[in-house]
Chains A and B, each alone.
Chain A
Amino acid sequence: SAVISQKPSRDICQRGTSLTIQCQVDSQVTMMFWYRQQPGQSLTLIATANQGSEATYESGFVIDKFPISRPNLTFSTLTVSNMSPEDSSIYLCSVRLDRVEAFFGQGTRLTVV
């Protein structure tokens, strides 16, 4: 198993500002992912955080809006840039162990006003 610490757990931000979300894992993992879950919706993959290289973004998500860092095998950050109210959502990091992407952080509930 893996223990994932994600912070902040929630934040209220002004539009036009940026927020960086941190994800720390208690063991080295090859693959880390960032998801968005909008109110009442399911999870949408934003990107795969690759250690030592640029993140791989899914359709509809771009690096300028959601820059991601992965400096080592236990840590990653996701920045939500130039925020608008449409960015209000829960952001989740997750890690893959063996064949299974099983473990999620506690999530960051972001409200943009």
Chain B
Amino acid sequence: QKEVEQNSGPLSVPEGAIASLNCTYSDRGSQSFFWYRQYSGKSPELIMSIYSNGDKEDGRFTAQLNKASQYVSLLIRDSQPSDSATYLCAVNSRSFGSARQLTFGSGTQLTVLP
């Protein structure tokens, strides 16, 4: 089982719709959860962080965390073509050589159709 799993996509939504991106993780001790956006050929950019159960809203983005279900999601409301990118879920989890580092999911490619 992968430590962080995401829907591989690609996910296509029409402009103005809600895009829903999902992520599950295996380490119950994880405490910090992040969503990064990566445009093609660019480096990842942090768009949301969430640390406690429930919803966290920032503009058109809402992150949802359910630690009991080991599930974190990202909702993008009123999707725009400029939101077309790969979205990476990252979880602060224990790794081989370090105490706790970020483990990334494989990413979900989102395309917003005009």
* Interface positions of A (Cβ within 8 A of B): 33, 41-45, 47-48, 56-59, 92, 99-107
Contact = CB atoms under 8 A, between A and B. Distances in A.
B95 A45 contact: yes
Give the interface size class of chain B.
20 to 34
Interface of B: 32, 34, 42-46, 49, 51, 88, 95-98, 101-107
B97 A58 contact: yes
B88 A48 contact: no
A42 B43 contact: no
A74 B101 CA distance: 20
A42 B32 contact: no
> Which of A59, A100, A105, A106 has the largest number of chain B CB atoms within 10 A?
A100
A43 B44 contact: yes
Contacts of A100: 32, 34, 46, 49
